Structure 1
Amino acid sequence: MARNTAEAWLPEEWETSKVVQSILQVSAVESLAARIPMGSDTKHVPRTAGMDVAVVAKGGTYGEDTSLNDEVLLSAVKFGKAVRIAEEDIDDSVANLLDAKMTGWGKSYAKLIDNASLAVSAASNGTTVPFTSLYQLLNTTDSGLGYTGGANITTAASAGVPSYTEFSTAIGSVETGDYFDPSSMVAIAHPAFRSSLRGVKDSQQRPIFLQGTAGTPDTIFDVPIRWSLGAKLAATATSSPAGRPIMAFVNPELMLLGIRSGPESVFIDGRDGLSALTDESILKMRARRGWAYGHPAGASILVG
């Protein structure tokens, strides 16, 4: 990010920004989710329970579908940070200090948005728990959707060493649902699963984890894996979660990421105002996002 004294929020260029590219490399949610533009703080997104189909006889009457239609609400939450930088550090640095700070913020944001969207284990409060995470969604009964809380969550009996049966049960929970789509399913998992996966084999001693080569992704049960450092359970959203790792089997089409603004930054020059007494400038960075998962039957989670 170039130094700018206009003191206006500058959006990062999506195609060329190093900040954006680092976010997409680290965040599974930012890179995989359906991006929903938001023109205000909230947006209602349609959710359907599906639509039936039946044979219609020649000249016969079309039957009417009775599937429920409802919606999910995306509420934009601001993720930001400010850093105070001495003028000497900016002028004397060989590297672009502002670029380095912005890239560092982007990587932390990427882990935070994944954790907030996937693995926070508490109800949303709009602040420390910005969204209803996928884990919380799957842990909550929704009688209107016919879903029982915990039905699609499998917890390993031995922490850190899930068995073949537990991996199979976890993916099987979503494979038997109406929202299973083998062409688009992705597993989002914390890298802590890598070591345990290497030793897991099926009944014919075939490994269920295959490491990708030449640009192809790692896979489990032929499902591509996207690794995420934010995929660990936490009581509140954080960029450094410390709970048990999760592997979420998801349909990216049901991952709804509301885009209100950002990532963007503003550089406030320290040559005027109170900061003029200390020769310090301020760099502020933010992104405003909303999140919801379309239907609990369309995902499952293994807690490692």
Structure 2
Amino acid sequence: MARNTAEAWIPEEWETSQVIQAVLQISAVEALASPITMGSDTKHVPRTAGMGVDVVAKGGTYGEDVSLNDEVLLTARKFGKAVRLAEEDIDDSVADLINAKMLGWGKSYAKMIDNACLAVSAASNGTTIPFTSLYQLLNTTDSDLGYTGGANITTAASANAPTYDEFSTAVGAVETGDYFDPGNTYAIAHTSFRKFLRGVKDGESRPIFVEGTAGTPDTIFNVPVRWSLGARLNATASAAPSGRPIMAFVNPELMLLGRRSGPESVFIDGRDGLSALTDESILKMRARRGWAYGHPAGASILVG
């Protein structure tokens, strides 16, 4: 029986592909994270707990830094889907049908990768929970890094209306950390926060949320906001998460997104081998990604 090999996978072109453009528009993680090229299924990326500095007298001895140096492990996980296409439909409109399916997959992938990286509420198992999400990282104590689980998570008292103080506490948790960079901080939030934010004002009735115009992003407390439909808590990674929405304040330099391959596709002709008995062809789409956040003190989350 004839068989398609790995060489048949066709990568999407980053500059021109509609699928890639849709992914970058919908996925905050794909758009903001520091890309890490992966040449194999796993890759170790250095992580440091920082480095001190002293005043050294003329001719004096330099003090040696004793802060922790370690690494995070990126493991590539595969996100994919296959669809059967009837030969009659392909003959009628091959370009429109295939492109529509590829674009639909890209949009679902964009939401799922954000959910997997940011908002899954359980420990990684390598399958339904591919990574340690940012929420799970912030919810876990790490004595080596001096971080206490939950310290950088603020949960709104009312699921329907986070208050000014709750928004302020959430962003303040990262502003007071050693990894705060005022010129490189973003908020990644579920779109439902837009409704909440329009009514939140400070003590002088000034809105904390400013809607952007053409060429300028929305901001909260002058922090640029990226909206993500994947930023909802969920027990497993999902393209349609259903839990409480989150707003994460992050440093993109600490968002480590391993790119092993894809998005890419392969078209398996229905006239090939046993599949010819059904008059159906198969379109497969996939992307292989790894994820880790560099340090829990460099992020905070508001659970809405």
**What CA distance in whole angstroms lies between the structure 2 residues aligned with 1:237 and 1:278?**
33
Partner in structure 1 of residue 58 of structure 2: 58
| Structure 2: 5+ residue stretches without partners | none
Partner in structure 2 of residue 131 of structure 1: 131
**What CA distance in whole angstroms lies between the structure 1 residues aligned with 2:225 and 2:26?**
13
Does residue 252 (structure 1) correspond to residue 228 (structure 2)? The answer is no
Partner in structure 1 of residue 223 of structure 2: 223
Which stretch of the first structure deviates more once superposed, 7-16 or 283-292? 7-16
Counterpart amino acid of residue 166 in structure 1: E
**What CA distance in whole angstroms lies between the structure 2 residues aligned with 1:206 and 1:94?**
54
**What CA distance in whole angstroms lies between the structure 2 residues aligned with 1:41 and 1:5?**
19
| Structure 1 position 6, deviation (Å) | 10
**What CA distance in whole angstroms lies between the structure 2 residues aligned with 1:155 and 1:231?**
15
CA contact (8 A) 1:186 1:225 kept: yes
CA contact (8 A) 1:7 1:269 kept: no
What is the TM-score with the length of structure 2 in the denominator?
A: 0.97
Partner deviation per Cα, 1:198-253 (whole Å, 9 max, x = no partner) = 00000111000000012200000000000000000000000000000000000000
**What CA distance in whole angstroms lies between the structure 2 residues aligned with 1:218 and 1:194?**
10
**What CA distance in whole angstroms lies between the structure 2 residues aligned with 1:99 and 1:183?**
38
Partner in structure 1 of residue 48 of structure 2: 48
Partner in structure 1 of residue 175 of structure 2: 175
| Structure 1 position 136, deviation (Å) | 0.2
| Structure 1 position 93, deviation (Å) | 2.3
Counterpart amino acid of residue 280 in structure 1: E
Q: Secondary structure at the match of 1:270?
A: coil
**What CA distance in whole angstroms lies between the structure 2 residues aligned with 1:295 and 1:93?**
49
What is the TM-score with the length of structure 1 in the denominator?
A: 0.97
Partner in structure 2 of residue 206 of structure 1: 206
CA contact (8 A) 1:90 1:96 kept: no
The within-5 A match list for 1:233-244 is 233-244=233-244
**What CA distance in whole angstroms lies between the structure 2 residues aligned with 1:283 and 1:225?**
35
**What CA distance in whole angstroms lies between the structure 2 residues aligned with 1:33 and 1:192?**
22
CA contact (8 A) 1:251 1:298 kept: yes
Which stretch of the first structure deviates more once superposed, 293-302 or 268-277? 268-277
Which stretch of the first structure deviates more once superposed, 135-144 or 86-95? 86-95
**What CA distance in whole angstroms lies between the structure 1 residues aligned with 2:189 and 2:274?**
46
Counterpart amino acid of residue 66 in structure 1: V
**What CA distance in whole angstroms lies between the structure 2 residues aligned with 1:256 and 1:250?**
12
List, as ranges, runs of 4+ consecutive aligned residues in structure 1 with deviation greater than 2 Å.
4-7
Counterpart amino acid of residue 245 in structure 1: P
**What CA distance in whole angstroms lies between the structure 2 residues aligned with 1:242 and 1:6?**
36
CA contact (8 A) 1:184 1:251 kept: yes
**What CA distance in whole angstroms lies between the structure 1 residues aligned with 2:188 and 2:27?**
10
Counterpart amino acid of residue 45 in structure 1: V
Counterpart amino acid of residue 281 in structure 1: S
Counterpart amino acid of residue 234 in structure 1: N
Q: Against the structure 1 CA distance between its residues 268 and 6, is the aligned structure 2 distance closer, same or farther, given a 3 Å change threshold?
A: farther
Q: Against the structure 1 CA distance between its residues 282 and 51, is the aligned structure 2 distance closer, same or farther, given a 3 Å change threshold?
A: same
Partner in structure 1 of residue 84 of structure 2: 84
Partner in structure 2 of residue 294 of structure 1: 294
Partner deviation per Cα, 1:32-52 (whole Å, 9 max, x = no partner) = 000001111111100001111
| Structure 1 position 7, deviation (Å) | 7.2
Name the % identity.
Answer: 83
Give the root-mean-square deviation of aligned CA atoms.
1.4
Counterpart amino acid of residue 266 in structure 2: V
**What CA distance in whole angstroms lies between the structure 2 residues aligned with 1:85 and 1:46?**
45
Partner in structure 2 of residue 31 of structure 1: 31
| Structure 1 position 160, deviation (Å) | 2.1
Counterpart amino acid of residue 171 in structure 1: V
CA contact (8 A) 1:129 1:236 kept: yes
Q: Secondary structure at the match of 2:85?
A: strand
| Structure 1: 5+ residue stretches without partners | none
Counterpart amino acid of residue 78 in structure 1: K
Counterpart amino acid of residue 75 in structure 2: S
Counterpart amino acid of residue 296 in structure 2: P
**What CA distance in whole angstroms lies between the structure 2 residues aligned with 1:272 and 1:134?**
44
Q: Against the structure 1 CA distance between its residues 275 and 94, is the aligned structure 2 distance closer, same or farther, given a 3 Å change threshold?
A: closer
**What CA distance in whole angstroms lies between the structure 2 residues aligned with 1:47 and 1:278?**
52
Q: Secondary structure at the match of 2:226?
A: strand
Partner in structure 2 of residue 68 of structure 1: 68
**What CA distance in whole angstroms lies between the structure 1 residues aligned with 2:262 and 2:101?**
16
